[in-house]
Amino acid sequence: MNKFKSIALEILLCTSLISAATAVNISGTVTKTGGEPLKGVKVYLASLSNVTNTTDSLGKFHLSTVSVIRMNTPAIIPYQFAFRNNELVFSSTGKLTGAIAIFSGNGQLISTINFSDLNPSTQSITLPELAPGLNIIRLTLNGITSSCQVLRVGNELYLQQNSGGNRSTDFQLNKSGAVVSDTLIATKPDFLTKKIPITSYDTTLTIQMDSTASDPGAIAWGKKENPTAGLKPISTFPGYNNLKANSKLPDPFMMLDGTRITKKSEWANRRDEIQQQIQNYIYGQKPIPAKGSVTGDVSTSKITVNVSENGKSCSFSVSVDMNGATAPAPAIIYYDGGMGSPLPIPKGVAKIRFNAIESTGGSGAKTGPFYTFYGSNHPAGYMAAQAWQISRIIDLLEQKPTVIDPYKIGLTGCSRNGKGALVGGLLDNRVALTLPSESGIGGAICLRLVEQLGGGEWPYHSISYVRWLSEVALKDFAKANNASGDNTDRLPVDIHSAIALIAPRAICIIDNPSINNLCPKEAWVTATAGKMVFEALGVADNFAYVGAGGNHCQWRPQYDSEVNAMIDKFLKGNASSRTGSMTGGVSVDTKKYIDWNAPVLSGGL
């Protein structure tokens, strides 16, 4: 026989602090690696597995709980109630209107029940099953709110009794901003479970998940150095004499068989063609060593890389400054040929200094770890050689990801180091954010535009002053620093298509339109064409351009807003940051140089 327990509400409120429960307010978006929203992902916290949510059709989720529950001295309220099994029965005259909120002992909201015009003589309220141990009930009756502790022992419910004479109806929910150490877990069948270390329960995140389904067409965007390799192998590359001059920028959506892509998923095939073309005609080959050939050490102060394959070997190291970041940290690798990093890398993002080795002159032996490994006369230009080193660093970080997150890497540098940062990003799809600054010829400049727009440095400069590009690949297309020696309009590919290889990852081109030697008109046209590709692929926010005049490689406040937003979004994971603006460029009629329109592509990447 069940006991009937009745007690006046005048003794319900407690004088003690009940609980310093955890406040959670985590929201975000889950996507496939290509950027397509992912529905049906279960998201939860390792330490609070009952705090869970499932993503909607837009990939959105929100984890939320209450925080500190503070209950003060008793309130005297002229109502009585009783528990009968799991029913709440009132003893009063007149009808009652209000709500009942039920919390767990640690302050998590379990259930809310609203009622109106309840007749206590004939009606009761059925409660959900309370958890064993301490529960908390907040009652609002005819506009008066109070709270009590309810203890469940077996099938019995007991009210925590207390006495006192001061009236109070104080019930406070206070957010806690303490630093925490927890793991957010996202799981869905046919996808790799994602575990993300977090240090705050009040944050916004972007999560990318890789499919494990046996889909031969699945592309590991952002997780492989060259995720589209081998999809469209080119058996024969037309030589200089078999190519026709074209002053317009080549259509990046046109396949080599003459058909134009109509679906986002077809971009992978076109991307593979462009990747092969730019290495054959512009940068030179960037080999990928065999799996297992990269070893080394990663610490919070230094990364040492060793590469060994078929009797060949080389080693190099980079310095690390954690810069207030928590491991595994996002990081920006800055190319430093003696100039340092003009970009002020924000706190919370590790700084990795990369010594970019190169030598002047258009002939002779080339130096650096890449050429130690493959030979000093390898035809790859210095930009491809430095990009190879960046890729080997990321190889090692994938093996040892506890200090630096291998998939939250940014690259930056200014002038010649900006060229390097650009090529490092477009030749390795694992780079999350590419930030080339004032890169000029050999950087984010379409080569064929110089003769037409009058930039201060010719393409030949990029294989004669320093062999940033491949002197072997470009030798027939760039023979002198003048119009008669420049035939880059015969190239079947140009830098706007090379930049498009970064998609669906992110790039922000930082420019200086006041220095003509940097080819600012050419830079704007190139960026416009690149942006068109990102827009067609559905990732327009992942491409930005910001220009501001001043001294070469001097950081300017006009850069701050867009660059910081890009870092915040693509390295720190704040999906709410607004990115993708195109500002500060030189006014140019881009339609004179771009005679194609971006197609409307269906589906996802």
Residues 57 and 119 in one domain: yes
Say which residue the tokens 């890729």 belong to.
Answer: 391
Q: What is the mean pLDDT of the chain?
A: 86
Residues 35 and 148 in one domain: yes
Residues 181 and 128 in one domain: yes
Residues 210 and 265 in one domain: no
Residues 75 and 33 in one domain: yes
pLDDT at 154 over 80: no
- The three-class DSSP label of residue 71 is strand
CA distances from 543 to 198, 226, 522, 532, 538 (A): 27, 20, 17, 9, 11
Task: With respect to residue 359, please indicate whether it lies within any of the assigned structural domains.
Answer: no
Task: With respect to residue 467, please indicate whether it lies within any of the assigned structural domains.
Answer: no
What is the number of structural domains in the chain?
2
Q: Which residues contact 407 (CB under 8 A, 6 or more apart)?
A: 208, 222, 223, 430, 432
Q: Which of 104, 341, 415, 437 is catalytic?
A: 415
State yes or no: is 415 an active-site residue: yes
Task: With respect to residue 230, please indicate whether it lies within any of the assigned structural domains.
Answer: no
* pLDDT single digits (tens) 302-359: 999 999 999 999 999 999 999 999 999 999 999 986 555 688 999 999 999 999 999 9
Sequential DSSP letters for 411-440: EEEETHHHHHHHHHHHT-TT-SEEEEES--
Q: What does the alpha-carbon distance between residue 592 and residue 579 come to, in Å, rounded to a whole number?
A: 27
Residues 495 and 578 in one domain: yes
> Within a 13 Å sphere around the CA of 134, how many CA atoms are in the beta-carbon half?
10
- The dihedral through the CA atoms of 453, 535, 415, 430 has a sign that is negative
| Secondary structure, 3-state, 480-549 | CCCCCCECHHHCCCCHHHHHHCCCCCEEEEEECCCCHHHCHHHHHHHHHHHHHHHHHCCCHHHEEEEECC
- The dihedral through the CA atoms of 376, 382, 384, 389 has a sign that is positive
* pLDDT single digits (tens) 439-453: 999 999 999 999 999
Residues 276 and 165 in one domain: no
Q: What does the alpha-carbon distance between residue 459 and residue 443 come to, in Å, rounded to a whole number?
A: 10
Q: Which secondary-structure segment (H or E) carries 386?
A: helix 382-399
Return the structure tokens found at 154. Answer: 């077996």
Output the pLDDT for position 268.
Answer: 96
Task: With respect to residue 24, please indicate whether it lies within any of the assigned structural domains.
Answer: yes
* pLDDT single digits (tens) 157-199: 666 543 333 333 333 333 334 456 788 899 988 788 888 888 8
Return the structure tokens found at 553. Answer: 């490689």
pLDDT (average), residues 65-93: 57
State yes or no: is 552 an active-site residue: yes
Task: With respect to residue 297, please indicate whether it lies within any of the assigned structural domains.
Answer: no
Q: Which of 27, 168, 308, 552 is catalytic?
A: 552
pLDDT band at residue 201 using 50, 70 and 90 as cut-offs: confident
Residues 178 and 36 in one domain: yes
- Which of 159, 182, 216 is the last residue in one of the domains? 216
Task: With respect to residue 601, please indicate whether it lies within any of the assigned structural domains.
Answer: no
Task: With respect to residue 389, please indicate whether it lies within any of the assigned structural domains.
Answer: no
CATH of the domain at 519: 3.40.50.1820
Residues 175 and 102 in one domain: yes
pLDDT band at residue 506 using 50, 70 and 90 as cut-offs: very high
Task: With respect to residue 598, please indicate whether it lies within any of the assigned structural domains.
Answer: no
Output the pLDDT for position 168.
Answer: 34
Q: Please tell me what DSSP assigns to residue 278.
A: H
Identify whether the C-beta of residue 39 lies closer than 8 Å to the C-beta of residue 115: no
Residues 428 and 563 in one domain: yes
The amino acid present at 531, given as its one-letter code, is K
> If we measure between CA atoms, which residue out of 17, 14, 13 comes closest to residue 174?
17
Residues 490 and 558 in one domain: yes
- The three-class DSSP label of residue 38 is coil
* pLDDT single digits (tens) 90-125: 766 678 888 888 877 666 677 778 877 777 767 778
- pTM passes above 0.85: no
Residues 130 and 276 in one domain: no
The domain of 424 spans 240-288+328-342+399-459+473-592
CA distances from 570 to 36, 61, 162, 330, 451 (A): 16, 19, 53, 9, 36
- Which of 170, 200, 216 is the last residue in one of the domains? 216
Return the structure tokens found at 244. Answer: 């026709």
> If we measure between CA atoms, which residue out of 121, 75, 76 comes closest to residue 94?
121
pLDDT (average), residues 147-152: 74
Return the structure tokens found at 301. Answer: 């102060």
Parallel/antiparallel/unpaired status of strands 329-336 and 350-355:
parallel
Return the structure tokens found at 605. Answer: 């990447």
* pLDDT single digits (tens) 353-399: 999 999 999 999 999 999 999 999 999 999 999 999 999 999 999 99
Output the pLDDT for position 13.
Answer: 34
> If we measure between CA atoms, which residue out of 455, 429, 430, 431 comes closest to residue 443?
455
Q: Please tell me what DSSP assigns to residue 81.
A: E
